[in-house]
């Protein structure tokens, strides 16, 4: 009689542990969403259902400025990091395997392995020297910092897409005397586009939600939405912050769902 393969789901107490984990993960988020509809100003006592905090958050000029700044930074960082990640993915998959291939892969994904606080301090020191030398204090530093941090997030789905692509079409294009650029433009790029879009969305979410790097790199008056919310919580917790967080959560869920649709395997 053949032995049954090991399955973790068959272990005693697996379902109980799974339920506890999911409750611990999502109950705080559920409470956040619930209290964003609180009719009263308390973040601990639910006094009734109301939508008042959403228009109040929208009417807040500081929220509007921080939101616009976050969207600009996230859009620019997502575009830059996706272009760099696409070139890196092509360079590491469409070439012969070399002795240093693993080292290159590690260097590209370094921001994922190093604590974010280390990356933030390093960028702070680096940009401080540039600020002293040039006197420039604009958003370019935040865009550059977010772009560098988001590269591996864009790189992974693009590389995965490239590794799952059938090389026969690219080989056929080369056999029909297509130049490398023509092969990339008419064959590789259209097939790779779902991975590129998925990588860009993942980089956008990562940049939009970032707090640590933004806190270290930003100059005065350059609050992003997450750093603004953190500052408000330090001063006084209001239900307005819950409403903003709920909207960010909704945006993140929509983008992650789109990411799932783009990256899932089709028959």
Q: What is the pLDDT of residues 63-93, one digit of tens each?
A: 888 888 999 999 999 999 999 999 888 888 8
Q: 184 near 112, Cβ under 8 Å?
A: no
> pLDDT (tens digit, 9 = 90+) per residue, 178-207?
787 888 888 888 888 888 988 898 899 889
Instruction: Give the separation between CA 237 and CA 45, rounded to whole angstroms.
Output: 13
CATH classification at residue 111: 1.10.3720.10
In a domain? residue 2: no
Task: Give me the pLDDT at residue 4, please.
Answer: 65
Note whether 94 and 144 are same-domain residues.
yes
Which tokens sit at 254? 């929509």
Comparing 4 with 209, which gets the higher pLDDT?
Answer: 209
Which tokens is 18 given?
Answer: 């799974």
DSSP calls for 198-231:
HHHHHHHHHHHH--HHHHHH--TT---HHHHHHH
**pLDDT surpasses 60 at 265:** no
Question: Are 20 and 101 contained in the same domain?
Answer: no
Coil, strand or helix at 49: strand
Terminal Cα distance for the chain, rounded:
34
pLDDT number for residue 90: 85
Q: What is the mean pLDDT of residues 16-25?
A: 88
What percentage of the chain carries pLDDT values higher than 70?
91
78 and 27, same structural domain?
A: no
45 pLDDT exceeds 80?
no
Residue 138's pLDDT is 85
Judge if 44 and 68 occupy the same domain.
no
100 and 161 inside one domain: yes
For residue 38, the SS3 value is: strand
Predicted confidence band of residue 34 (pLDDT cuts 50, 70, 90) = confident
Does 250 map to a domain? yes
Q: Whats the size of the chain, residue-wise?
A: 267
Tokens, residue 157:
């789905």
Question: What pLDDT score does 99 carry?
Answer: 67
Query: DSSP readout, 59-90?
Result: H-HHHHHHHHHHHHHHHHHHHHHHHHHHHHHH
Residue 164 lies in a domain: yes
Q: How far apart are CA 200 and CA 78, in angstroms?
A: 5
Convert the pLDDT of each residue in 217-233 to its tens digit. Answer: 988 888 888 888 888 77
How many angstroms separate the CA atoms of 134 and 259, rounded?
39
Q: Considering its fold, how many domains does the chain have in total?
A: 2
d(CA 88, CA 11): 42
What does the pLDDT average to over 140-163?
A: 90
Among residues of the chain, what percentage have pLDDT more than 90? Answer: 15
Q: What is the mean pLDDT of the chain?
A: 83
Instruction: Give the range of the structural domain holding residue 43, as residue numbers without chain letter.
Output: 14-50
pTM equals: 0.79
pLDDT at 267 over 50: no
| Strand-pair partners of 38 | 49
The Cα 258–Cα 197 span in angstroms is: 10
């Amino acid at each position: 009689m053949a032995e049954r393969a090991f399955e973790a789901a068959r272990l005693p107490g697996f379902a109980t542990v799974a339920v506890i984990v999911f409750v611990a993960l999502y109950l705080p988020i559920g409470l956040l969403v619930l209290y964003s509809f609180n009719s009263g100003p308390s973040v601990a006592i639910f006094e009734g259902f109301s939508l008042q905090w959403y228009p109040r958050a929208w009417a807040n000029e500081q929220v509007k400025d921080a939101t616009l700044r976050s969207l600009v930074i996230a859009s620019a960082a997502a575009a830059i990091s996706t272009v760099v990640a696409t070139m890196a993915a092509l360079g590491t998959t469409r070439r012969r395997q070399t002795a240093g291939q693993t080292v290159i892969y590690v260097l590209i994904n370094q921001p994922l392995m190093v604590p974010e606080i280390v990356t933030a301090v390093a960028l702070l020191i680096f940009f401080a020297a540039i600020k002293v030398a040039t006197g420039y204090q604009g958003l370019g530093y935040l865009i550059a910092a977010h772009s560098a941090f988001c590269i591996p997030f864009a790189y992974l789905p693009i590389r995965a897409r490239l590794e799952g692509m059938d090389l026969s079409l690219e080989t056929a294009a080369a056999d029909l005397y297509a130049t490398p650029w023509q092969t990339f433009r008419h064959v590789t790029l259209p097939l790779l586009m779902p991975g590129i879009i998925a990588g860009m969305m993942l980089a956008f979410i990562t940049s939009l939600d970032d707090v640590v790097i933004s806190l270290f790199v930003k100059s005065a008056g350059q609050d992003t939405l997450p750093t603004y919310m953190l500052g408000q919580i330090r001063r006084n917790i209001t239900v307005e912050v819950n409403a903003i967080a709920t909207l960010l959560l909704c945006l993140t869920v929509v983008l992650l769902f789109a990411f799932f649709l783009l990256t899932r395997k089709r028959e």
